[in-house]
Amino acid sequence: MSRVTCLRSPPRQRVLSLALALILLDASVGAMARAPACTPGTPDCPKPRFSYAQCRRNDLLDFYVAGLPVTDRTTQARLPIQVHADHATSPDGEHFRLSGHVRVQRGDQLLQAPTVNYTRGSSAYEAFGGSGRAVTYQDQALLLSARSIRGTTSPQHADATDVRYQLLQSRGNGRAQRVQVLDAARSRYANATFSTCETDSRLWWLQGGRFDINHDTGIGVAHDVTMRFMGVPFLWLPWLRFPVNGQRMSGFLAPSFGGSSNSGSYLRIPYYLDLAPNYDATLDPAYYSRRGFMLGGQFRYLFDIGKGQLDLNYLPHDRLYGHKRWSLQYQDYTPLASGWSFSANINRVSDKTYFEDFGNSLAIAATSLLGSSAYINGGGNWWNAALGIDTYQLTDPTLPQSVQPYARMPRGTLDLDIPVGNSLELGMRSEAVAFRKRNALEGDRLDLYPYIAAPLQGAAWFLRPQVGYRYTQYWLQGGRGNPARGLPIASIDSGLYFDRRVDLFGHTYTQTLEPRAYYLYVPYRNQSNLPVFDTAPLTFDWWSLFSSNQYTGADRQVNANDLTLALSTRLVDDAGIERFSAGIGQIRYFTPQRVQLPGYPVTYESGSAYVGMLSLGLSRNWTLQWTQQYDPNRHLTTVSSIALQRRLNDDGVLNLAYRYRNGLIDQYDLSALWPIDGAWSLVGRWNYSVRDHKTLEAFGGVEWDSCCVSVRGVIRHYVRDYQGHTTNAVMLEVVFKGLGGLGSRTGNFLSHAILGYQ
């Protein structure tokens, strides 16, 4: 074999970089690697954008050479050209004919051909196939096969015929009758195709009469583009601009459509506006057959001084409602001086029934309260402060306006945690609020809680005594006076930690036993003369056992002479992962619970409900979560929640759940993603309320996943408001992998409706 080192390069990377140019509608094709299996109990599981597990190996990989060095363009330009051939002849030292197994390599660029002619002076080259072999080219992003390639390297020009290509960093592949490289930045493709399907089984593909690509601007222009599905053309565009290097670009996004018995059929056609590198917008016009046209939009920005997003939907005239409808959501985060920032979260809708009419699930449709806030926040090593406002909008038409929470305009907080030495801590929790509400008592409140704590701990124990004084002062409008409350609060939190090594089911774990005792003393103060601005009972759970107050807000401070006793245990594997945990606890009351909200009687129970919790995840496929509360005073279960999850292979999941809260909730919930084989899966959910004797939500559907196309179809029946009115909906989504999807966003819906959907 002869070895020749040339001064000029045969075809370079830009000469044959049509791979990036042919990604027509989506510049970021999903990776072929599968996401790791979802951990049991995880609500939102990672999922690759597109999975190509059903695809066979592309036959272009037959000439792929592994192990080539990965280089960037600058480094590559300095590398020598290495040429190998079985035979090399030159009649004059100017013209070279290489034959046999010709191999031309520069870094990660490799050209192979049966025959290559090269002229040194003009830098012209000709690479020909023959004897059943084609001209092949490879770099880190592309495999290419052609019948012949002709061109020059100075100036840079190439002309390839009968081209086939395969993208290595994604799934895209296709053909081009002719590829012309006009210069280092511009190229042109005639009668080219692109698909992510298998080369011998194309369900869909794009076909264009001509593609013009400019790599410097990152923009391509396609002429006479047709998209075909199973050979049938269903989309034609005379002209289309598209990105070729992964950058954002203005253009239409995949449309979505669907329907419900409440609003009728709908069609949404979003249009993306790439306004600048650090801000963009999306226009989202929609048509509802029973309601009319709605214009939606989103604006996003990212500056050194802050980032934010504005979402707006506007329906000029709802044919069913009779008036205009709109919704607004705005979020902003702006860094200020060192340690300070501004944040805002504004949410508003036009009327109380907006979510009933335009929400696509029970969770959204049953939204009863929208909160908005804007705050300046600051913090340091031992302090945190905030100043801002909170407002609320009632969005449940069945509730009277009187139950709307007070606006806090403004609200300020200052929290201090100052360590003094190794075993002493000084701190304070403080809040100042102005409460405002129409047709209701208004006023201002100052709440101060300075405290001193002495946290002590060892390897197997901890002890935290704490003493504080809570003072609350009101300034009420309308001649209601300025009531105040002051009282000391003392507590001691203590616990022990024991551990041992145990062998269970063939595995070794560290088992812990953790007894904990929490004593709380708060003397009684009559607080019936204090208003109730923002105070409600806390939801009683495991962490309530160790809280100094059973109320949110500062309008009530519970009196206490209580002792909480709790015991928990855990199993931790050698990797530090908690595989099992369980605990039980109760508060023992030595004095009656005299501080109550208006309308609630004094309670004389000797103890709270027993709180139990259990979490089990010894297997990667099984997990169990269980919480239980039993009231010994009334001899009944007050809270029960059981959730069992079973992973089915890597992608499937089965969820069984039961939720009960005395007098409020009594529900069964069954949901599943059940793989039948590698391509077909069933999805479904049934959420039933025993208390209401009604199905809250039920849907069933199927998923079909092939190499390059996914189809999801779902039929739904769900409750859309607090009155129990129901609606039906049909959702269909077709995903052309590598391009996007058509239809309603069924995948997004399923990821929220089925715990652990992947």
In angstroms, the CA 242 to CA 24 distance is 6
Count, in order, helices (H) and strands (E) of the chain. Answer: 5, 46
Residue 435 lies in a domain: no
Q: Is the pLDDT of residue 36 over 50?
A: no
Q: Kindly state the percentage of the chain with pLDDT values over 90.
A: 43
DSSP letters for 71-83: --HHHHHTSPPEE
DSSP letters for 467-520: EEEEEEEEEESSS----EEEEEEEEEEEEE-EEEEEEETTEEEEEEEEEEEEEE
pLDDT, tens digit (0-9, with 9 covering 90-100), for 174-199: 888 998 878 767 878 899 888 888 88
Q: Is the pLDDT of residue 44 over 70?
A: no
Two structure tokens written together for 325: 């409808």
Between 29-43, 638-652, 660-674, 724-738, the lowest mean confidence (pLDDT) is in 29-43
In angstroms, the CA 248 to CA 28 distance is 10
pTM of the complete model: 0.75
Number of domains in the chain: 2
Question: Stretch 696-706: mean pLDDT, rounded?
Answer: 88
pLDDT, tens digit (0-9, with 9 covering 90-100), for 372-402: 999 999 999 999 999 999 999 998 887 888 8
Provide the pLDDT confidence category of residue 21 given band limits of 50, 70 and 90.
very low
pLDDT of residue 7: 29
Provide the pLDDT confidence category of residue 170 given band limits of 50, 70 and 90.
low
Residue 402 lies in a domain: no
pLDDT of residue 365: 52
Between 124-128, 440-444, 543-547, the lowest mean confidence (pLDDT) is in 124-128
pLDDT of residue 83: 83
Phi first, then psi: give them for residue 171, nearest 5 degrees.
Answer: -95, -10
In angstroms, the CA 365 to CA 748 distance is 17
Provide the pLDDT confidence category of residue 456 given band limits of 50, 70 and 90.
very high
pLDDT of residue 501: 94
pLDDT of residue 169: 65
Contacts of 576 (CB under 8 A, 6+ apart): none
- Output the average pLDDT for the chain: 84
Provide the pLDDT confidence category of residue 40 given band limits of 50, 70 and 90.
very low
Q: 72: exposed, middle or buried (C-beta count within 10 Å: 0-12, 13-18, 19+)? A: exposed
The answer to whether 455 and 427 are in contact (CB under 8 A) is no
* Percentage helix, strand, coil for the chain under 3-state DSSP, each rounded to 5: 5, 60, 35
In DSSP terms, 537 is beta-bridged to 551
pLDDT of residue 360: 58
Residue 628 lies in a domain: yes
Q: Kindly state the percentage of the chain with pLDDT values over 70.
A: 86
CATH code where residue 84 lies = 2.60.450.10
Residue 14 lies in a domain: yes
Last residue of a domain, one of 598, 613, 634: 634
pLDDT, tens digit (0-9, with 9 covering 90-100), for 264-312: 888 888 888 889 889 999 999 999 999 999 999 999 999 988 999 999 9
pLDDT of residue 324: 95
Higher pLDDT: 722 or 505? It is: 505
Cα–Cα distances in angstroms (integers) from residue 77 to residues 123, 334, 483, in the given order: 16, 44, 81
In angstroms, the CA 376 to CA 713 distance is 46
pLDDT of residue 486: 97
| CB burial readout 361-398, b (16+ within 10 A) else e | bbeebbbeebebbbbbbbeeeeeebbebbbbbebbbee
Q: Is the pLDDT of residue 240 over 80?
A: no
The answer to whether 322 and 296 are in contact (CB under 8 A) is no
Write a three-state SS string for 406-427: CEEEEEEEEEEEEECCCCCEEE
The parent domain of residue 624 ranges over: 460-634
Residue 595 lies in a domain: yes
Q: Is the pLDDT of residue 452 over 90?
A: yes
Closest CA to 189 of 214, 155, 226: 214
In angstroms, the CA 33 to CA 354 distance is 42
Sign of the CA dihedral running 201, 206, 212, 218 = negative
pLDDT of residue 179: 84
Residue 665 lies in a domain: no
Q: Is the pLDDT of residue 681 over 60?
A: yes
Question: Stretch 601-611: mean pLDDT, rounded?
Answer: 93
Higher pLDDT: 637 or 263? It is: 637
Residue given tokens 């959501």 in the structure block = 329
DSSP letters for 670-681: EEEEEE-SSSEE
Provide the pLDDT confidence category of residue 136 given band limits of 50, 70 and 90.
confident
Last residue of a domain, one of 594, 611, 634: 634
Contacts of 120 (CB under 8 A, 6+ apart): 6, 7, 8, 93, 94, 95, 96
Residue 374 lies in a domain: no
Residue 390 lies in a domain: no
Provide the pLDDT confidence category of residue 142 given band limits of 50, 70 and 90.
confident
pLDDT of residue 129: 86
